[in-house]
Amino acid sequence: MLRLTQAPNLAIATLWADALAAEGIASSVQRQYLAGVAGELPPDQCLPEVWIAHPAQEPRARELLYHLQHVPQHRWHCRCGELVEGGFEQCWNCGSLMPR
């Protein structure tokens, strides 16, 4: 097994591991229950980690992880004139959907 990365929290670690598994990369989350001892152990040692089962899959796993961590953000002008930024696909002002 090979440690791929630390995650900021258990929810993110689980999402990353599930996304890797969906692409055929056997992965698991380790240190998932250590948050309760943060303070008695250094906090950075209590973060959950994503591990992969087969080190030969590391390049593909790192590529997928990079794309999961760097999701492109949209920036578009709505027909009502509002600038909508981030991952929103609907205008907060008028409710119109993002043009395709």
Residue 71 has what pLDDT?
A: 82
| CB 89, CB 74: distance < 8 Å | yes
What's the CATH architecture for 2-69? 2-Layer Sandwich (3.30)
Residue 74 has what pLDDT?
A: 83
Residue 79 has what pLDDT?
A: 94
Residue 4, number of CB atoms within 10 A of its CB: 21
User: Residue 23: which of 50, 63, 55 has the closest Cα?
Assistant: 63
Residues 6+ apart with CB under 8 A from 78: 84, 91, 93, 94, 96
Residue 88 has what pLDDT?
A: 87
Tens place of pLDDT per residue across the chain (100 aa): 999 999 999 999 999 999 999 999 999 999 988 877 877 888 888 899 999 999 999 999 999 999 999 988 889 999 999 999 988 889 999 999 998 8
